[in-house]
Structure formats: structure tokens, C-alpha cells
Amino acid sequence: MVYLPKLHLQLRNRILRDLFRLPIFKVPADRSYEAAIEQHNNQLPILSENDFSVVETLRREGICFTSLEALGLASTEKVMKAVAKILPNLKPASPSQKNQFIVHADPAEIIKYPALFLWGLEERLLDIGENYLGLPLAYHGVYFRKDLANAVKIKSRLWHIDVEDRRMFKVIVYLDDVTEDAGPMEYVPKFFTSSLYKALKYHYGYVADEKMEAVIPRSNWRSCAGLSGTVVFLDPTSIFHRGKVPLNSDRFTLFFDYTSRQPKHPFYCKSCLPEADLRLLSKNFSQRQKECVFWRSGTRRG
Ligand SMILES: [Fe+2]
């Protein structure tokens, strides 16, 4: 693999992204995606009534709220134990990085507590995600985030739509109460998405509050404030969203990320852990879990 400096990488991704918008690439890629969805339609996992309604809500609204308690996944207790161990080891903000607004747990910490990564591979979550995307999932892993209470207002703290794939599936777990002042995610209901694309002439990138407010009043913005243990299922390609700046306390969350295995922009997809660590972790994975993690190498179901 060729490693490029960050700036070169951003430039390369932008060039590729613009190339992928050209009809010569876009039309066949979209056709192949639609065909894959149609082909997979009768292979989708069967869902319980409750999980089916999660998928329906996601389709209708782009977002669905539940809780760890309501989900009742067997490995949640192990995850919470891992969280308690990792939390004190999260690094403080670096004084040399003026624009820093997130601290992520070190991959070395994540690998020490496999339950954290494995929670995102719980069969039920895979079933919900697969039904929502209509395709087998690629799992990009878990991010343990501390969103810093500071005034930095760049990147994901501005309004945007995620670009990795045509549809995405994210599961966000609140590790603390996320009050209005603790940086809850905000979004504009899905009903407005297509008119916002037009009004903002939006393709990619970030939109400042003033510009957003000029096309949709703040009274239509929605907040995702919630108690510790809240779980948010989200398709960040379907609704304009942003992290509100936390005013008086840092925000602690887990983000579990998924796309299809033929994402629109594969060059934007990256795993939370290096390949060698994934190999170590995967020793006891089921065939399906392996396929979700090593999707780039095209592992086949056994
Ligand atoms: Fe986003």
C-alpha cells in the first residue's frame, strides 16, 4: 500500500470524487448498485417486528432512537466494562493543535478490549443494517470519541451530508447524558433534504449556520439530546446533520460505522484498526463477521 501525506490524500480523494461524478463512471456504477440491491432482495435476513420498525423508521426519517436497555444485546455489559477502563486513559486535548475538537481512544486501547469492536458485529445489528442498506454490510469499526467542549467550529461541527456511500448505517451510543449544552447532534428532518440540496446548490462539503438558516429556519432543526445509554441509528447520507458545539461539558460516545461492500467512494472508507489487529481479533469471528470486516478482500460466505 502507498502511504500519502494527509494533504496529498485529501487532494487525491477530491480528484477521485469529482471523477466519479462524471456520467461515464457514475452511470455504470449506479446501475451495478441497483442490480446488486435487486439481486440481494430475497437474501435479506428476517427481522423481528421491532427491528423491522427500526428499518422502516430509518427509511422514512433517516434516524431512529432507542436505548441500550431496549436493544438488550448480550455483549453490552462487556462493552460498558471496557468503556470504564478506556475512559480514564483518553488523552487530553493537544495544546499544539488549535483546531482539535475530538479526541479518539487509541487503537491500542480498542484492541485491548475486543468486546467493544465485537459489539458492532452482533448479528442483530448486522441484520438491521443489512436490511436498511439492502446489501451485505462492510463494517468499518468502532470509534470511542470525546468531543471537546471548546468553540472550534469546523468540519463535522458544520452542516453536511456524509459521502462514503449512497446509503450508510451508523450506530451511536451515548456514554453520558447528552444535554443541549453538551454538543448533541442536530439534523434537519429528511422531508427537507432534497429541497435543501437545491436551495444550497449542495454537492459536498460543509455549510455554516448562517447559510443553513437562510434556507431553513432554526425552528425546523432537530436536536438529538438524550440520556446516557441512548442509541441512535442514523443514515448520515440521508439528512443534513452536524455536531453542535459542546458548551459546558465534553461529549462521550461510541460510533459504529457501516457501508455497503461496493461503496460509492471506497477511498473515503477506512477501518478503525490496522489490518494486523483485525486479523488477530478475527480468529473467532463467524464467516459473516469476517466478510463484514474484510470486505475489501472479498471473503466469501462459507
Ligand atoms: Fe457526518
Of residues 69 and 92, the one with the higher pLDDT is: 69
CA torsion, ordered 261, 264, 269, 275, to nearest 10 deg: 40
| Average pLDDT score over residue span 183-212 | 97
Q: What confidence tens digit (pLDDT) does each residue in 127-176 have?
A: 999 999 999 999 999 999 999 999 999 999 999 999 999 999 999 999 99
Q: 236: CA distance to ligand 1 center in Å? A: 6
pLDDT at 300 > cutoff 70: no
Question: Are both 226 and 124 inside the same structural domain?
Answer: yes
Residue 98 lies in a domain: yes
Q: 251: CA distance to ligand 1 center in Å? A: 16
Question: Are both 97 and 125 inside the same structural domain?
Answer: yes
Name the percent of the chain lying above pLDDT 90. 85
Task: Give every CB contact of residue 269 below 8 A, 6+ residues apart in sequence.
Answer: 138, 140, 164, 165, 259, 263
Q: 204: CA distance to ligand 1 center in Å? A: 12
Residue 302 lies in a domain: no
pLDDT at 2 > cutoff 60: no
Residue 34 lies in a domain: yes
Question: Are both 87 and 146 inside the same structural domain?
Answer: yes
- Write out the residues surrounding ion ligand 1, Cβ under 5 A: 162, 236
Of residues 15 and 85, the one with the higher pLDDT is: 85
Q: What confidence tens digit (pLDDT) does each residue in 100-119 have?
A: 999 999 999 999 999 999 99
Where residue 3 falls among pLDDT bands split at 50, 70, 90?
low
What's the whole-number average pLDDT of the chain? 94
Residue 179 lies in a domain: yes
Question: Are both 63 and 30 inside the same structural domain?
Answer: no
Residue 147 lies in a domain: yes
Domain with 144 in it: what CATH number? 2.60.120.620
Question: Are both 152 and 188 inside the same structural domain?
Answer: yes
- Single pTM value for the model: 0.93
Residue 217 lies in a domain: yes
Q: 41: CA distance to ligand 1 center in Å? A: 27
Q: 38: CA distance to ligand 1 center in Å? A: 27
Q: 159: CA distance to ligand 1 center in Å? A: 8
| Average pLDDT score over residue span 229-240 | 98
Question: Are both 26 and 122 inside the same structural domain?
Answer: no
Where residue 10 falls among pLDDT bands split at 50, 70, 90?
confident
Q: 143: CA distance to ligand 1 center in Å? A: 13
Structural domain count, the chain: 2
Range of the domain at 24: 1-43
Q: 268: CA distance to ligand 1 center in Å? A: 13
pLDDT at 15 > cutoff 50: yes
pLDDT of residue 8: 81
CA separation for the pair 66, 124 (Å, rounded) = 14
Q: 84: CA distance to ligand 1 center in Å? A: 26
Residue 64 lies in a domain: yes
Question: Are both 162 and 279 inside the same structural domain?
Answer: yes
Question: Are both 85 and 15 inside the same structural domain?
Answer: no
Q: 284: CA distance to ligand 1 center in Å? A: 32
Q: 197: CA distance to ligand 1 center in Å? A: 16
Question: Are both 19 and 53 inside the same structural domain?
Answer: no
Q: 132: CA distance to ligand 1 center in Å? A: 18
CA separation for the pair 23, 15 (Å, rounded) = 15
